[in-house]
Amino acid sequence: MAPSESTQPPPPLSTTDAEPAVPTESEPLLGRPGDAIQKPDAPMFLNLVLGTAWLSQLGALLLLVTTWSAVFLHKLGALISPHPLLQSLGAFLLIQAILILQPTSTPADKRTGQRIHASLHLLSFLSFVSGIAVIETNKHANHNAHLHSLHGYLGVITGTLLLAQYAFGICMWLVPGVLGGEDKAKALWKYHRYGGYLLLVLVLVTIGAAADTDYSKGVLKIKGWTFGLGITLVVVGVFPRVQLRKLGIDRSR
């Protein structure tokens, strides 16, 4: 039987007429509730620049353009040049994957955001793996040490943790049964989010360490301040948009 047209609509989420209704998860780490939350029926792509995200986009583009221009303005090497190109592309895609999902609030938007988030992370993962394969092939071919810099050590640690994070996310999203069922998997989402933000920091620190390698300084002539500025912009763009309730934090109590 069709529902009656006289059915009363649900009460607004806001308690005052002066403030717009906002979902319960809309309180960001910095700013006011609703500052960085996707509005109903708003295009998903706007999440990439919503709130402070535009600062992250500037930082992500600065890191990408600085790296790619430095590589193509110098002599290319088949077993070395693809590494910074692919790793910087992977980092750029990883940042987009975080930004697209952060502001989602309704179940439908969350599902769409999760699919795009997963797709971007898949592309990011393939880019990272390809870049690692290139540099490891180069080291093997030239009999170079595999770990001889802070960047190298951070790369191994970050790559390993990223793989674990991807596996964790896939299990929660596609096969929650392996974690004890859908309800238990949902209870673990906040840990996936914590892990994601921690890994973003590790990725950015690894990028910063790359600017101090002999190849970056001696061959590509990359200026450390450009990476520092790009990393800072990404951080100040992403973290103010963190939705506290999605992390299990309720400051209203």
Q: Which own/partner pairs from 156-161 qualify as long-range (CB within 8 Å, at least 24 positions apart)?
A: 157/202, 158/199, 158/202, 158/203, 158/206, 159/128, 159/132, 161/195, 161/199, 161/202
3-state secondary structure of 20: coil
For residue 220, the 8-state DSSP code is I
CATH number at residue 168: 1.20.120.1770
Q: Is position 113 within any domain?
A: yes
pLDDT of residue 213: 92
Question: Residue 36 and residue 24: Cα distance in Å, rounded?
Answer: 13
Domain count, the chain: 1
φ/ψ (deg, to 5) at 101: -95, -30
Q: State what percent of residues in the chain have pLDDT above 70.
A: 85
Rounded Cα–Cα distance for residues 217 and 167 (Å): 35
Whether 27 is covered by a domain: the verdict is: no
Decide if 252 is inside a domain.
Answer: no
pLDDT tens, 163-205? 999 999 999 988 988 888 888 888 899 999 999 999 999 999 9
- 118 located within any domain: yes
Q: pLDDT at position 31, please? A: 64
Residues 33-42 have a mean pLDDT of 79
User: pLDDT by residue (tens digit) across 72-114?
Assistant: 999 898 889 999 999 999 999 999 999 999 999 899 999 999 9
Residue 25 lies in a domain: no
pLDDT digits (tens, 9 = 90+) for 120-165: 999 999 999 999 999 999 888 877 777 778 999 999 999 999 999 9
Instruction: Answer yes or no: is 8 within a domain.
Output: no
Which amino acid, one-letter code, is at 123? L
pLDDT of residue 147: 76
Residues contacting 147, CB < 8 A, separation 6+: 153, 156
15 within some domain: no
Pairwise CA distance, residues 237 & 96, whole Å: 12
Containing structural domain, residue 192: 44-247
Scanning 188-249, the segments in alpha helix (DSSP H) are: 189-210, 214, 224-238
150 located within any domain: yes
**Res 229 pLDDT > 80:** yes
| Angle (CA) 75 133 227, round 5° | 55
Task: Please tell me the pTM assigned to this model.
Answer: 0.85
Q: Work out the widest C-alpha separation in the chain, in whole angstroms.
A: 78
Say which amino acid occupies 134: V
Indicate whether 244 pLDDT > 90: no
